[in-house]
Structures are given as C-alpha cells and as structure tokens.
Structure 1
Amino acid sequence: MTMRVLGIETSCDETGVALFDTEQGLLSDALHSQVAMHAEYGGVVPELASRDHTRRLLPLIQRVLDEAGIRRQGLDAIAYTAGPGLVGALMVGASTAHGMARALDLPVLGVHHMEGHLLAPMLEDNPPAFPFVALLVSGGHTQLVEVSGIGQYRLLGESVDDAAGEAFDKAAKMLDLDYPGGPAVARLAAAGDPQRWRFPRPMTDRPGLDFSFSGLKTHTLTTIRQLDQQDALDEQARADVARAFEEAVADTLAIKCRRALDATGLSRLVVAGGVSANQRLRERLERETAKRGAEVFYPRGRFCTDNGAMIAYAGAQRLLAGERDVIGRMQAVPRWPLEQLRQP
C-alpha cells in the first residue's frame, strides 16, 4: 500500500515538516530553528517556543507541499510528535495535525519523538537492517537500546542524571560560550591540547550500561575555577578544558557502545540525536566498531537534530500497520518512556 504521510515535529525549539512517500521515499522537508531566538536567554524558553511554532508551522507545511508538487488533498495521512517534549510545543503540532486530519478526512497518529530519532537512519541510501543497538543522544536523552524491529525495543542503559547533550550545554555555560552548547564546545575544543588534561570517564570503571555525567561536570567546573583563581583562564586554557571535556564524553559513550554490542552479540550500531553530529564522538565510535568488525550508521547531518522527516517515516511505518489516533483525541505526552511503545 502506498501512503503519503505529512510529518510534523514541534517537541522543543525546532519546527520541522516533511512529506514521506512509502514507495518514493522522502519527497520534501523543511525546518525552522529557534536557536537565535533562545540564545539570548541561554536556553529554551517554553512559552516563546510554543508561540514560534504557532507562527511557523502552517507556512512550513505549505512550503513542503509546494516543493513536492502535492496539494493537501493528495495526502494520505498525518503524523506528529506526541512526546516526549515541552507540552505547549507538543500541543501546537498535535492540534494542527488533528485539525488538518478532520478537515481532510485523513488518519492521524501521534509519534514518539525518540522512535523518530532511532529510525532516522532508515531514510539513508544504506539503512541498517534489524536487529541493531541504538545509541540515542539527543538534548534530553542518553540511552542504549536493543532494537529487534519497529516497536521491539529493550532499554539497555540510560543516564542516571543529565543527558550528554545537557552536559555539553552546562559545560558551555561554565566556559561562557553561546547556546546551543554542543557545537560551541566542539568549536572551542578544536584548538585545545588533548595532552594537557584527562578528565574522568564516568561509570566506565564498573560493569553496566548506564551513564552519569554529573561527576564530569563537577570536575570541569573545579578545573575552570582553579584556573580562574590562578589568573590562568586564558583562551588556550578554555580550549584545553573544552577538549578534555569533549574527549571524556566521546570516550564514555564509545566504551558503553562497545559493551552494549558485546552484551547483545550484535554487529550493527545506530547513533542518532543531536550529539551524534559531534565529530569527536564519530571518530571514537568508528574506531570501536572497526575493532570488532561491526558497522555504525548515522542519519545525515540535518536529520541528527529534530526534524519532520523522522516523524513522517516513523509515523508511516505505524500507520501502514493500522495504528490511528481517534480524531480530536490529541496526544501530548511530556514524559514517555520508549519501552512503553507497543509493537505495531
């Protein structure tokens, strides 16, 4: 069955829309980032995010349809991010999707945001085959998941405190860098000396697949304060701190991924979410997987962060299996464990 699915993503600070055809693949996609708007506040302001989604969403939908040469009447279904995320932002996408579905008499479905990230590499020319291990490293999540098929997810490990993306943001603030923190830390780290410091690799000295970045953050802050007290926090020292921090996060994630592959006996690793764009992390993962003859898969750069294409794809798979929302019964779930998803 061929299906053209409009995907809508409004979980946080990016408005994403895409059109996916189950036979032809991705037809068009568009994204508006709110980074510049939130930068002056040093992080996402939920009310501002919701208002901006409201302004941007309908024009983006029209743009995607125009680029694909499709009228609204040519759609077969609509998928939207139902959670997890900011509840106000989620409601913008949910209400728009349900309103369009009622007006056009189309099926509509709320999609799990992290399932979208997990399946984003399926949009590439060389998609991974099931089963695989997935490392999900978005702004608010750091998780290792064994994936046997769509909806068949077993949580292997997750962060017991801040996610890796949150740790990058907090390290950026310590170093007086702009928001968003991940790219800012990576840019500064490029000029850092990798030999000056070796920061701790949290929870790698014990068994298990959980993560913790609180100790690493404390170590980073202590180092910065000591340098400041010594009047030695110059630009090179800041770059060296950024490099040591980035190396520690990348090594920690890579070590845990290797353990997860060993524990499951699988030879395919999927890495998705905003932090997956970090080049230091990719270098570490390439080395770790090469050592054991495994493969690693990523989504293309613009699909590492939040986007409509991943929601359209994930929604299409579940819509094809017969899943639907009841029209008018919108889903907006701020907290939604991935393992609660059922197999379609």
Structure 2
Amino acid sequence: MTMRKGIQSIEFSKTPYIKGWASVAGQKEGEGPLGNAIDQIIEDPYFGQKSWELAEGRFMKQAAMLAISKARLHTKDIRYAFAGDLLEQNTATFSGMKELEIPLFGLFGACSTVGEALSLAAMSIAGDFAKHVLAVASSHIGSAEKQFRFPLEYGNQRPLSSTWTVTGSGGFVVSDEKGSVKIKGITTGKIVDYGMEDPMNMGACMAPAAAEVIYQHFVDFNTKPEDYDAIYTGDLGEVGKKILLHLLRENGYDLSGVYGDCGIEIYESEEQDTHSGGSGCACSAVVLAAMIIKKITDGIWKRVLFVPTGALMSKTSFNEGESVAGIAHAIVLEGENE
C-alpha cells in the first residue's frame, strides 16, 4: 500500500517507474548548453501552425508521442494523461492532445505543472488505477508573453530580474513496469504568498513556495540535503536561487553543495540574453528529460529531489492588483540500481 509520510508527503510502497521520456524545444533552447541532449529541436517557432498557441500544442503532442514511442508503447496503451500549460483554459493542452485520444486530466500549476502531473501519474500507478500514464507539460515564449506581459512584436525592454519562457515540452510515461528511474515519493506543495506583485520577477515570487515544500519534505522524510546527489528547482533563476538558499539557511538547511535550478541550466544567460534564466512549464520538463534523468541513468546521480516551481497569476489577477503567489511540488527520483 502507499504510505503517507508526515503532513504533505507520500512514500510509494509500490514503485512507479519513469519508463519513457522525451524533450522537444525551440531553436533558442537548442543553442543553449543542453541543446545536444534535447530529443528534437524545432527551428520554426510556429511549428507549421498559424498561431503561437497552436504551435505550443504541437510541441506538447510531439513530446507525448516521442515519450510513448521511447517507452515502446502505443497511445492505446496509455490509460490516462495528466497535462497542462500556462494558457487560459489550457489552450495548448487541448489543441495538442485531442488527436491522441487519451483520457485526459487537464492541469494548471503554472510552471510547476510537470511536478503536479508526475505526482498524480505516480499516485495513479501506485494505487493500481492504471498500468501506463502520461505526464506532459508545455510552454512557448510567444504565447506566454502575449498573455501575461507584452506581445513579442511590442519589443519592450526586459528588467534583469526577468526570465525567458522556454519554448518546448517534456513528456514522461509513468508505468508499473520496471524502468530506468523510480519515483520513490512526493511532497505536495502549498500556495505561499509573500505579497510580491512584479510579473517580471517570477523567481522572487516562487522562491518562498520552493523553500516551504523542500523544508517540509526534509521533515516528512527525515532527510537532509546531503542525502541527495542533487536538488533541482524548476525555474527560480539567479534571483530566486539566492532567495531560496537564504530562506532555507534560516531554517537550518544548507543546500549550496547540491542545489541547482533548471532555469539556470537551460540557457547561457549572458550569451543568450536571458537575464535571470529560463522559465515556463517546459523549463523544468525539458531539463528533467534532457539532463536530470540522463545523469540518473548514467549513474552519476543516484537520488535527486526534483522541485518544479510555479507563479500563480493571470491577466485578471494582475489587472485587479492581486499579488503573485507561488507553489512547488517535490519528487524523489532514484536510479533503478539504488
């Protein structure tokens, strides 16, 4: 049976495995440090579609199909899909997933969505509700900027605290069949609101939520930073990274020896002019598929705490003067030989 741990966590007694994974990204991501590790680079930002939103949906569909294929399965083998994006009413998810005809749970956790999707997929497998489940998330610089900030055509100047939304998608097949990576447990995050109101400083908005869920994970599992080979947040960037390390030091945990952030990994910030780093649902999803899982399967890392982060906002909440709250979810990943 699945065992509850502490007040926010689950440790799986029936192990869910990541059986297949894939990353699809745009040209800018392909020019970054992880370009050679991404499964497919799409140079056309429209991906042959007529809008940014439809293009993002196609990125998601492609990542889903590649992950299923790499798991040596077919769409008919997938019992459920957990998928989400940043757009209103999950526009990209519904346009991208409809042709796959997989029973779908549409999710919104902002940039933490892949963590939510993987958590629910793992719970479905551990609870014997499915044999194979798909978890997928996407984002696109064009669609995200148009919805949340300024359309790309406007050409506004970006502050140094801003991040660059990753164009792409990451897809993962979670299965009860043995795979290369185990999902050993999860810690589900809470909404944390420190009153930040700047949509150009997502790292500061999300860092408190990341600190809360990492702290609670250590308490629930009775672990400490050195029990992990790496602890990776989703997209705090350079600004959020400093805040996170400070908040956790105040609570007695020093992450500096094992900590990294997906938003810092995916771009060369100075050469590619991305300022604080990368962001978006695809940021953590692409880095997980292209880098983190590879280091686990290569035996470089045995145990990783993966913590996708999200800033909870919309056009409506921003226009009404609401603050930008954060949320994050923690997932324990281990190599099969651990």
Give the TM-score normalised by structure 2: 0.35
Higher helix fraction (1 or 2): 1
Give the TM-score normalised by structure 1: 0.34
Q: Which has the larger radius of gyration?
A: 1
